[in-house]
Structure 1
């Protein structure tokens, strides 16, 4: 079984900055930082991030 990861853990594993991910998503860095901190985000964001990181959606911790 694969351990689920938070957005922050996934970003750090892939050696990306918050700004890089925010730019990809078309949001401010502070907005993305808030999602990481609270681990609260829209499902459509998870789908886009899974495409970006090329991971299965089940990897993302809710």
Structure 2
């Protein structure tokens, strides 16, 4: 199953602020990543997957266009 960052966060029952605090970033930075996940580093993506307790491969980090 593939999830967007928002879906993974909601399934983890976390707010954007809670995730931002866990990552040590401003809430606006995390909000930006939910809209444009390709802007985050792979290190951050790995941290997020640990917070959400899902495999990195299960989260959509970039939307492919046809």
The TM-score with structure 1 as length reference comes to 0.85
Give the distance between the partners of 2:53 and 2:11, measured in 1 at CA. Answer: 13
The root-mean-square deviation of aligned C-alpha atoms, in Å, is 1.1
1:39 and 1:46 mapped to 2: Cα distance?
9
Runs of 4 or more consecutive aligned structure 1 residues displaced over 3 Å after TM superposition: none
Is 1:50 aligned to 2:35, yes or no?
no
Q: Pick from 29, 36, 43: which aligns with 1:38?
A: 36
Q: Determine if contact 1:6/1:39 at 8 Å carries over to the other structure.
A: no
Residue 64 of structure 2 aligns with which residue? none
In structure 2, runs of 5+ residues without a counterpart are 62-66
- The alignment covers a number of residue pairs equal to 60
Cα shift at 1:39:
2.3
TM-score when normalising by structure 2: 0.81
